[in-house]
Amino acid sequence: MQIKTYQEATEWLFQQFPSYQEIGVSAYKPDLGNVRLLCELFGNPQNDLRFIHIAGTNGKGSTSSILASILSESNEKVGLFTSPHIIDFKERIRVNGIQITEEDVIQFCNQIIKANLSFEPSFFEITFVLALLHFQKSKCSICVIETGLGGRLDATNIITPILSIITNISLEHTQFLGTTIEAIAGEKAGIIKPNVPVVIGETTAVSKHVFQNKVESTHSPIFWAEDVNFDTDFEIPLLGEYQKRNFRTVRCAIKILTKKGFELSTDTISKGLNNLFRNTGFFGRMQVISKEPLTILDVSHNLEGIQQTLETIKNLTQGKLHIIYGTSSDKNYMEIIACFPKDASLSLCSFKNARSLVIGDLEKISEEMSPKPQLFDDVKLALSSIQSIANKEDTILVFGSFFLISDYF
């Protein structure tokens, strides 16, 4: 068998080695043996690279991307490994924001097939080794690695970083990681390596005790981000109090990295925040793209997520709220539309992906509504049109699908 196209490669990856993103529990491989064997097969690329390793229940994706963006602005060649992907598999593996090429994915899949392995690595294990090889080939000077699940037995835990970060701990994936905060903290603490500094973003009394015990055995310097006050204010392009906490964790990490020789000035941090999407591809999480009128992009797409977004927006809106909504045809969109504030203006918009509700569908929805929404087939056109009529104190919210927000970029 030989794979010739990128579509064949991704289909083979998901079918041959199912991912947790696709099938859940049965894809979980709680062991580092397979990933070590894979790395040996390809010459142990992890030995040629420097890493920052990030685990945690929430915020590890944001923290990874913010830190990678700031490092990119300091003239480092930064590899970034995150999961899951939103639209395209290549999102998981980037160097200074640029995704791995389709050709590299195809080539690696064929190498795995040709190797005729005597063991069955998981989708995530294969993807991580592909990332390591890509970062090695790209001659990355630093790689920011987000764990997939847990920490101690996560495939990424074969690396020895120059800095470990654990954002926070709460109950998650209890079928894998344990049913208590103490047990889960113990699994996350598994990324702490001997004599390697670790930043802890947020703690509870229980998790703090677990981390303290761990570093006593590994002799790792530990830094508690929640105990540090930073004087300089920065404008974070992401809304929500939790993003401020993530950024505080990043600031604590920066203090340590600066002592390790990284040139991370105030100007570098500002540029990293301003160029977050360009440098990492991170987008669409309550993302502010304009101040007057306040214009926000968000990838929430199911009813619960959209209700949470609207609750946040309610506390931000000064003038009138203008909603631009686009959705896939398989969503319960009438129930979602029904929860929109009655005093908001509504525009319905299709997007390029084949799953989109098309203009014909939007026209049928519009016939049942009063007042009738505006209809658009291009999100950039929709946004430009609404911005032209909105007052500067108004709020514009664009949301409903990853694909809609992707079209903006």
CATH number at residue 218: 3.40.1190.10
Confidence of residue 128 (pLDDT cuts 50, 70, 90): very high
Q: Which domain holds residue 341?
A: 287-408
CATH number at residue 381: 3.90.190.20
**pTM, 2 dp:** 0.79
Both 17 and 126 in one domain: the answer is yes
Read off the DSSP letter of residue 287.
E
In a domain, 99, yes or no: yes
Which residues is 396 bridged to in the sheet? 295, 322
Give the domain-ending residue among 256, 280, 304: 280
Both 52 and 200 in one domain: the answer is yes
Q: What is the pairing mode between strands 98-99 and 93-95?
A: antiparallel
Tell me what pLDDT residue 24 has.
Answer: 43
- 235-261 pLDDT, tens per residue? 888 887 778 889 999 999 999 999 999
In a domain, 1, yes or no: no
**What is the number of domains present in the chain?**
2
- Rounded average pLDDT over 119-133: 93
Confidence of residue 16 (pLDDT cuts 50, 70, 90): low
- 326-370 pLDDT, tens per residue? 999 988 899 999 999 999 999 999 999 888 999 999 999 999 999
Q: Does the CA dihedral 344-308-359-385 come out positive or negative?
A: positive
Does residue 114 sit in helix, strand or coil? Answer: helix
Read off the DSSP letter of residue 238.
B
Both 248 and 320 in one domain: the answer is no
Give the domain-ending residue among 280, 307, 339: 280
- 256-266 pLDDT, tens per residue? 999 999 999 99
- 179-220 pLDDT, tens per residue? 688 888 999 999 999 999 999 999 999 999 999 999 999 999
Query: What is the C-alpha to C-alpha distance for residues 384 and 386, in angstroms, rounded to an integer?
Result: 6
Both 81 and 184 in one domain: the answer is yes
Query: What is the C-alpha to C-alpha distance for residues 229 and 41, in angstroms, rounded to an integer?
Result: 46
**In the block, residue with structure tokens 């291009």:** 378
Query: What is the C-alpha to C-alpha distance for residues 17 and 123, in angstroms, rounded to an integer?
Result: 5
Both 262 and 313 in one domain: the answer is no
**In the block, residue with structure tokens 């926000």:** 296
